[in-house]
Amino acid sequence: MRFCYRQDAEDDILGRHGGQPFKEGTPHDPRLRLVYPISQHTPPQIWEFEQPYIGNLIWNARTFQRFVVYWYFENWAALDRDNRRIWEMYYRPKPLFDHLPTWQEWLREYRQLIIAVQEMVEDHTAQGT
């Protein structure tokens, strides 16, 4: 399912309003990724599956008017297969990613990029720029 950022969707995913809280590692919890609507040429992002990183993706979507898609994988192997497919098809062949042998290593770097962008926006907001 694809949705533009909405507070009620965030509440559902993060388990607010009396819903069941997100529990990492259970196959029926949503896995999320950002979609960049600016370009059809942007490759799909790796699926995210842990807090607080899911919250970071939602923050990014809300701040930059992006989309978040989520999907329910039947088990960890299915999530791993899809992330590996995305990694092997779109990222691994590019020289920029040569130093990263697997999608798990890229996910660590990607998480840090999302956090760095969030910190920059917060700094600019605090400075009034």
Higher pLDDT, residue 64 or 2: 64
pTM score above 0.75? no
pLDDT, one tens digit per residue, over 15-72 is: 443 333 344 445 556 677 767 666 667 788 889 888 888 898 899 888 888 888 888 8
d(CA 11, CA 117): 23
Instruction: Give the pLDDT confidence of 100-114 residue by residue, as tens digits.
Output: 999 999 999 999 999
| DSSP per position, 46-62 | PPB-STTHHHHHHHHHH
Which residue's structure tokens are 């898609």? 69
123 Cβ contact list (under 8 Å, min separation 6): none
Q: How confident is the model at residue 93 (pLDDT cuts 50, 70, 90)?
A: very high
31-35 sheet: strands from edge to edge: 2-4, 67-71, 31-35
Residue 49 φ/ψ, nearest 5 degrees = -140, 5
84 pLDDT band (50/70/90 cuts)?
A: very high
pLDDT of residue 19: 37
